[in-house]
Structure 1
Amino acid sequence: MQRICVIGGSRYFGKLLVRRLQAAGHQLTVINRGSTPPPPGVEHLVVDRDDEAALTAALASRTFDVVVDQVCYTPVQAAIAARAFAGRTRRYVMTSTIEVYDPATAALPTVPPGTPVTEDTVDPASWRVAMDLPWHDDAYLEAHYAEGKRQAEAVLARAAGFEFTSVRSAHVLGGGAMEFTGRLAHYAGRITRGEEITVHAKALPTVFIHYEELADLLRWATMADFTGPVNACSDGPLDVHDLAAIIATQAGREPVYRTVPAGGEASAFSFDRHYAMSNARAKELGFSFAHTTDWLPGAVAETLTAAPSPTA
């Protein structure tokens, strides 16, 4: 049994992670602002993680084997956590994102299309941190989501007193009520209704992961001893046409496309730039991934079942 603290963990794959860690017999503490309580038997600390004094007071004398941070978006939040958990844990796992590799958001090494992007493309140990940017401004944070994640990783990677790993998640999908982002439902709805999907003329592939697979990978990372970033994506990149074709097959409708040039605004999952991740490091460390086409049809079926029928 390990003592594990989950920051966030109130919805989607974080909620599933908490349940699976609890089922495995670990002692769980969940920290969030109280909007959603954890399952019975899980300790709940209601506190705003951005309030350092309140967080430190809430932690009191508690120590943990591992902290899993599901909701760290800025270097300011990371610095607060690094100070608050210094001397309280031996390992810190942060949920990060594929967006750290987006070449539209930072000057990154060029990766030729078709070459999976590896973790060393963004090295948190050397990434520049700017704490004086307006990270507390919601609009700024939304516009600089990828950079916030990069700098948060950088702060925690350099923190003393605990081992650190970041799990860089691909685009997360699920079906029905677990379709957290609404993007799969968006595609399913437009195809079912015969509405246009806006795509780039040369749409490039990206990578996905099912929310259950991501919860399993986070549980694995929690129990492991490796450090540094690790990419989390199912095998089998898909472009927007591949995704639409899987939905169309089950919906019984042909997708309708409107094409825009590179740089134009398109639907989610249509990309005119390449940053599809490699999952080779996670495999080398012992994690086995499903293929995207093994689980995506089931997620699509759940989404179509949950969606209202198209009107005539």
Structure 2
Amino acid sequence: MRNVLVIGGTRYFGKRLVALLLAAGDRVTVLNRGSSAPPSGAEQLVADRNDEASLEAALGDRTFDVVIDQVCYTPVQADIARRVFADRTSRYVMTSTVEVYEYEDSPAPVPESAIDPRETAVDLELPWGDAEFLDAHYGEGKRQAEAVFASASGFPYTAVRVAHVLGGADDFTGRVTHYADRIRTGEAIAVPPLNHPATYINVDEIAAFLFWAAGEDFTGPVNAASHGPLTTQDIVAALAPGAPVTYRTVELGETSPFAFARSYGMATTRATRLGFTFSHTGDWLTRALAETVNRPATQAS
């Protein structure tokens, strides 16, 4: 039985991860600000992760076999976590994002080496505590958070760079319902002139990947994505097969979610070599979208 701490872990794929850990017989502690209760069977610690003293006080003298950090968005948060957990865990798994590759516009799937956190500059003085700034610099915040962990000598971290996640009735992002609403009302879907495909992963699969990664011993960044990149049109066709759809090209301005003016493809060679087998988007896409809009799937997937 492992002793596992999950920072966050009370919604979307985080709560699925906690369920997998509990089902495996792990002792699970969830740390958050107290606004959400953890799943039954998990212990809860209440602290503000942005407050180092609060975090230290909540942890007391606890140590963990693994820490899985679901909600590290900035280098400031990573800097606090690196100090607090330096002697408390033998493995630290950070949930990162495909958005770290936001400037790597390549038609070929991008490997982890394209962004080496050991070579990423860190600026702790940027206004990371400002919600508007953080939202506009999401990818940069994750890049710099990875860099903080990578710069710590002997800190046993891995950063899971997660593809765009699909599936589940509890998808809180509103991205799939954006499309469902426009298909229903006939409103045009805004896309860039060149609309590129991206990599995706099912909500249950990313929970399974994080569970698997927690039990491994590799370090550094690793990409997590299902095989089979998807375009906006692929998602719309799976969401409403045969439905009339209008697209509107936007030269400047806001496009629909999952409509990308650049490629967001990740190579998963490293994860495969380490022993994880990813599914194909075609195995689950229709079912996942149906779950999110709360209607029966029109075909098995």
User: Structure 2 length as normaliser, TM-score?
Assistant: 0.94
Q: Map residues 53-132 of structure 1 onto 2, 5 A cutoff.
A: 53-103=53-103, 108=104, 111=106, 113=107, 115-132=108-125
Task: Report how far residue 274 of structure 1 moved.
Answer: 1.8
In structure 2, list runs of 5 or more residues that go unmatched: 297-301
Deviations 1:270-306 (A, max 9, x none): 1111231111111111111111111110022233445
Partners of 2:83 and 2:293 in 1: CA distance: 46
Which AA in structure 1 matches 2:53?
A: A
3-state secondary structure, aligned to 1:275:
coil
Q: Map residues 45-56 of structure 1 onto 2, 5 A cutoff.
A: 45-56=45-56
Q: Residue 200 of structure 1 contacts residue 266 of structure 1 at CA under 8 Å; is this kept in 2?
A: yes
Q: Map residues 206-217 of structure 1 onto 2, 5 A cutoff.
A: 206-217=198-209
Which AA in structure 1 matches 2:221?
A: P
Task: Report how far residue 179 of structure 1 moved.
Answer: 2.1
Partners of 2:20 and 2:184 in 1: CA distance: 35
Q: Residue 98 of structure 1 contacts residue 169 of structure 1 at CA under 8 Å; is this kept in 2?
A: yes
Which position in structure 1 is the counterpart of 2:23?
A: 23
Q: Map residues 134-173 of structure 1 onto 2, 5 A cutoff.
A: 134-173=127-166
Q: Residue 188 of structure 1 contacts residue 303 of structure 1 at CA under 8 Å; is this kept in 2?
A: no
Partners of 1:100 and 1:197 in 2: CA distance: 26
RMSD: 1.5
Extract structure 1 runs of 4+ deviating beyond 4 A.
none
2:292 is the alignment partner of 1:303: yes
Partners of 2:55 and 2:295 in 1: CA distance: 39
Which position in structure 1 is the counterpart of 2:227?
A: 235
Q: Residue 6 of structure 2 contacts residue 31 of structure 2 at CA under 8 Å; is this kept in 1?
A: yes
Q: Residue 173 of structure 1 contacts residue 180 of structure 1 at CA under 8 Å; is this kept in 2?
A: no
Task: Report how far residue 246 of structure 1 moved.
Answer: 1.5
Which position in structure 2 is the counterpart of 1:218?
A: 210
Q: Residue 17 of structure 1 contacts residue 215 of structure 1 at CA under 8 Å; is this kept in 2?
A: yes
3-state secondary structure, aligned to 2:149:
helix
2:281 to 285, 292, 295: 292
Partners of 1:270 and 1:207 in 2: CA distance: 12
2:268 is the alignment partner of 1:279: yes
Partners of 2:239 and 2:44 in 1: CA distance: 40
Q: Map residues 30-49 of structure 1 onto 2, 5 A cutoff.
A: 30-49=30-49
Counting aligned pairs with the same residue, the percent is 58
3-state secondary structure, aligned to 2:121:
coil
Task: Report how far residue 125 of structure 1 moved.
Answer: 1.3
Partners of 2:134 and 2:230 in 1: CA distance: 28
Which position in structure 1 is the counterpart of 2:299?
A: none
1:253 to 243, 248, 253: 243
Task: Report how far residue 232 of structure 1 moved.
Answer: 0.8
3-state secondary structure, aligned to 2:82:
helix
In structure 1, list runs of 5 or more residues that go unmatched: 308-312
Residues matched between the structures, number: 296
Partners of 1:90 and 1:183 in 2: CA distance: 37
